[in-house]
Amino acid sequence: MLTQTANLATAVGPHLFWITSRAAGIAALLLSSVSVCAGLLIGGGLTKGRRPDLRVTHEALSLATLLALAVHGLTLLGDGYLHPSLGDVAVPLLSGYETLWTSMGIVAFWALLILGGSFYARTRIGVQRWRKLHRFTALAWILGVAHSLGEGTDAGQSWFLAMTAIAVLPALGLLVVRHLRPAVTARAGVAS
């Protein structure tokens, strides 16, 4: 039993960075999807009463997503097979591995970082302008989902597809509803 465990550890050992990156990617996909749901609920005025709680949840989920994405990209630097440089994981179109999908993920990350981080500079940007800008976060999230489905190692697995559907479809539905309904701007203040 002990030998088997040791063998398993030896077998998986070289892939620890890869496993960590995959796990962080999955966590980021789920967290970002829930965060998008929360954001759309706030912005669309689809909630009643619990708006401050939802805003805090949205913010915390967004920060957790960014952290998971940072782990997702940075742990790849330690991968024994790919051996990517910092540029490969941070600059679009630089990596030779699955260039399109990788670039899509990198663009999504930077967009999420900039658009999400702009929340803390919204008074300087102007709340109305920031709110318009913040809508593009959904586009960055869609890019991220496409990246995970196009390049993800587990993308062909039924459990991954089911999990993605459960997380992504509600957010997509809310996104459609949001675009069909006018945004709640009068009461939103700086929250949305």
Partner 1 sequence: MDPTPNSPRASSPKRPADKLDARALARARRDAMLRRARRIRRSVAAIAAALFAAAFLAIYVQLASGNDPALSSTSTAASTIVASNTTSSSSTAAAKKTAAKRAAETLAAEEPAAETSSSGSGETSQSATPVTTSQS
Which residues of the shown chain bind partner 1 in the complex (CB under 8 A)? 7-8, 10-15, 18-20, 22-24, 26-27, 30-31, 52-53, 56-57, 60-61, 64, 67-68, 71, 80-82, 97-98, 153-154, 156-157
Which of 177, 190 has the CB closer to partner 1?
A: 190
Task: Write down the least CB distance from residue 75 to partner 1, Å.
Answer: 11
Task: Write down the least CB distance from residue 59 to partner 1, Å.
Answer: 8
Which of 81, 120 has the CB closer to partner 1?
A: 81
The answer to whether 185 and 42 are in contact (CB under 8 A) is no
Which of 13, 87 has the CB closer to partner 1?
A: 13
Question: Buried (b) or exposed (e) across 65-101, using 16+ Cβ within 10 A?
Answer: bbebbebbbbbbbebeebebeeebbbebebbeeeeeb
DSSP state of 93: T
Residue 125 CB contacts under 8 Å (≥ 6 apart), including other chains: 118, 133
Task: Write down the least CB distance from residue 179 to partner 1, Å.
Answer: 27
Task: Please report how the helices 99-117 and 51-74 are oriented relative to each other, as an axis angle in degrees rounded to 10.
Answer: 140
Which of 10, 123 has the CB closer to partner 1?
A: 10
Task: Write down the least CB distance from residue 177 to partner 1, Å.
Answer: 24
